[in-house]
Structures are given as structure tokens and as C-alpha cells.
Structure 1
Amino acid sequence: MTLTLTVSEDVLAIAPGFTYVAVEATGLVNGPSDRASSELLDDAARRLAARLGGRAPHEDPHMAAWRAAYTAFGSKPNRTRNSAEALARRALADGGLPRINRLVDAYNAISVAHLVPVGGEDTAHIKGAMRLVRATGEESFTTVAGGEAAVEHPDAGEVVWCDDEGVTCRRWNWRQGVRTRLTEASGEALFLLECMAPHGDLVTAGAELAEHLERLSPGARITVRPPVAAGAQE
């Protein structure tokens, strides 16, 4: 079943250039990181280095646009970086990118190669429609603190992705919740590729993610939705 995705007017007011591509997949076979998924990450790191040409990730125009959006809803981008900038910094560091599992590796590789935030949600655990909104501060966010399950609440005005049960990702794409994250048991997923103006071709990034998923999970059923621009809803 196709998930309904909406973006609130309050979010569009602070980020009129926001656009996203949704990739839905079923019949996936996940598992521990392997040689194939690791090679995707290594290739992505090389592509990122070539793209930046010695610049820091935050100097890229797209990352600068994300920083402006984070500042607009009261977040400090040097402390809570968007997911693409955070991954890019790790890709360029000595330790390199983390290996999580095959599906997470695949979407992290797209995020780094194209320098766009990408998130993956296990659709089996999503309740109702997905919404990008500015939080009231009352919403619940399930996470882990000190190795134990914990429930947090976003700041009032913070931009969050949520469903009918609570927040699935805080500060737009900064931290994903435990409930809907992709695990080695995940067989269906929604991937969101997000961008601010200026940026290149999101369609290319979405198509490349679909190719990665097809190689890692032959036989999976994958749908790449057309880009949704500011002001439009699905």
C-alpha cells in the first residue's frame, strides 16, 4: 500500500525550496553489511571527495541551504547537523563510514555520493500517514539513551517527521527513532531523499538508490515516486 506523505504549510514557510523523492520497496532481503554494501560506501566516499575538491561539507551550497533551514526552526547546525553533512564528515575522516546493514549502507551511500539527506523507514512499523510538521513539543519520540529504551519529546517548533503514533525522525533528518528504523529483519521500506534549493537532480539519486536495492535484493518490487516540490502534496 502506498503511504500518504504530507508537508505542512508551517514547514514550507521556512523552507520554500524543499523537495523530496520517495522510494518504496517491498520484498527486500536485508542482512549484515557485506562486501557489496561496503563497496557502495567506499565508492560514495570517493565521489564525495571529488565533488568537494578539498572543501568542507558545510561549504557545499546544498549543505549551506540546509543549515539555513535548520537555523530557521531554531536548531544550531554546528551542533545538530543534517544527516547528509554528518555522514559526509565521517566519510572524509580517517575512520570512514560506518557499516550498519545492507539496506542502511545502500541509502547512506546515496546520501554521501549525492550529498542529500536520505532516510529509510520500515513501513511495517509506520502507523497511518507520514507528515513533516513543526512539533508542538507534546509528541513522543522513542530512542535509546545509555543503552536503554527512552522516550523524548521534540522542542516546540522543531521540524519533525511523524506518523499517527509519534515522531519518527527529529530535527528534520537529524536523528531517526528506534521504532521505524531498518533492521536486518526488515523486508519493506520507505526511503526519503530530501533537498533544498540549490541542488542537482534528485531523480538521478532516486534511480541510483533503486538500482542499489535491486542488486542487493533481486526480485524486490521498487517504486520511485516523482519529485514533490514545495507546496505540493502526495
Structure 2
Amino acid sequence: MLLTLPSISPEIYRLAPGFRALSINVEAAPLTDKRIGENALKEACQAVLAGQPAWAESHLSAWADVFRAFGAKPKRTPCSAEALRKRVLRDGAMAALDPVVDLYNAVSLRYAVPVGGENFAAYNGIPQLVVADGTEIFDTMKDGQPGTESPDAGEVIWRDDTGVTCRRWNWRQGVRTRLSADDSKMWFILESLPQMPLEELHAAGKMLTDGLNKMMPGVRCQTTLISAELHNA
């Protein structure tokens, strides 16, 4: 199994001191139990309604501060974990979408952590977390039709050698690398700030890989911690 690690620009660590993430490479296996993701999602929604986890408010508030630091407006374009949490608190539940998407959304909700899931076979080069210059191309949907746009200069983006894969750090994923349970090569990124205990970040990663193993026995997963200390080692 080929291990691919993302490239993190030094500017990112200046914007978000203490930023760390789990990068998880996955070689999928045939799906045998699609209920795993849906059940995990239901349980995670109940955890959110019960006020869990204890660090949710401080962690998501820290993400809002980081978004403001690069010019985003978190009330209008919040980090992905906050957007999911607000939806559950408003509606009381989330509808199932796709077994793998449901699973990583469940991890995001239960641990109040932004989680990205990508079809790695659609990537051109490695994932890169950088500050945009504003000329990059992001593929999206506009009025139900495929379209493109560019990020703002100074915006934090995930990208590959083709273009933007996620705008405003982890706010909106592009169409090209969107993930489903049918994909054979997957890449996940769980992104945290110091307000989330490091052991809980590892627990979140384990929830994801354990769920994948139950959902598709024979799946292969490799998890790597990404941090400024390791980046500069």
C-alpha cells in the first residue's frame, strides 16, 4: 500500500499555531454492511444533542478564530464540523447519504472535528494545504449545473496539481474528488487545534478506521499524525 502524505505550507502553522491532523490512506474492500455508517451517524447525532463532546464549543470557537484570521466569515461559512453540528442541533438528526460519507460525518459530529473524505483516485499529485493566490480553479455546482470559481487571495485551501479540492480550509468540498463507498482509493484528513485533546484526535481516527473495517472487511488503512513538530523534523 502506497502511503501518501499531504504537504502543509509553513504559512498554515503561523495562521493556526498548534494545528495538527490525522492523514488516513485507505485501500477499500467490497462493502458488506452499509448500515455501519448510518447507525454511527444516528448515535453521533444523539451525542451532539446530549452536549458531547465536552470540548466542542472551545474547539469550534478556535476554528472560527482561525477562519477570521485568513479573512473568512465563520457565521456565513463555518468550518465543516460546526456546520454539521448546527444542522443536528436545529433538526435533531441527519439523513443518511452514503455509507462512507455517513461514517466520516459521524466521526466529525461525535468528536467536533472537521473531517474531509476524498476519492484519492481523482487526485493529480498530493494533497496540499496552502494559502491561495486567487488564480486557482475550484469546480462546483451552480444552480444545479457544473461550474467553476476561484478562491479569494489569502484564503486557505486544499488543492492538488489540478486545482482546488476544498475551499476555506474545510468549508466546501469540490465535485471532482467527492467520495463515495464505491471508490477504491480513499483519503481522509481529520483536522484539529489544541483545544481538542490529542488523544481524542487519535480516538476519532480509530472510530473511522474501525468503522471502515466493520463496513468493508479486508480494507487497508494507514494513519499518520501531521504536526508542525513533525513537519519541521
What's the TM-score, normalizing by structure 1?
0.91
Counting matched residue pairs gives 229
Q: Distance in 2 between matches of 1:223 and 1:29?
A: 18
- In the other structure, the counterpart of 2:202 is 203
> Which one-letter code corresponds to 1:19 in the other structure?
R
- In the other structure, the counterpart of 1:228 is 226
SS in 1 for 2:166: strand
Return 5+ residue gaps in structure 2 as ranges: none
**For 1:3-152, what aligned pairs fall within 5 Å after superposition?**
3-29=4-30, 34-52=34-52, 60-94=57-91, 96-152=93-149
> Which one-letter code corresponds to 1:215 in the other structure?
K
Evaluate the alpha carbon distance shift between residue 10 and residue 125 of structure 1 in structure 2; reply closer, same or farther with a 3 A threshold.
same
Q: Distance in 2 between matches of 1:22 and 1:30?
A: 22
Greater Cα offset, 69-78 or 16-25: 16-25
SS in 2 for 1:81: coil
Contact 2:18 2:193 in 1 (8 A): yes
Contact 2:36 2:103 in 1 (8 A): no
**For 1:206-217, what aligned pairs fall within 5 Å after superposition?**
206-217=205-216
Following TM superposition, by how much is the alpha carbon of 1:52 offset from its aligned partner in structure 2, in angstroms? Answer: 4.4
Q: Distance in 1 between matches of 2:84 and 2:29?
A: 24
Following TM superposition, by how much is the alpha carbon of 1:111 offset from its aligned partner in structure 2, in angstroms? Answer: 0.2
Contact 2:157 2:167 in 1 (8 A): yes
Contact 2:3 2:222 in 1 (8 A): no
Contact 2:28 2:183 in 1 (8 A): no
Q: Percent identity?
A: 39
Following TM superposition, by how much is the alpha carbon of 1:15 offset from its aligned partner in structure 2, in angstroms? Answer: 0.5
Q: Distance in 1 between matches of 2:174 and 2:30?
A: 22
What's the TM-score, normalizing by structure 2?
0.92
Q: Distance in 2 between matches of 1:180 and 1:27?
A: 16
Following TM superposition, by how much is the alpha carbon of 1:4 offset from its aligned partner in structure 2, in angstroms? Answer: 3.0
Return 5+ residue gaps in structure 1 as ranges: none
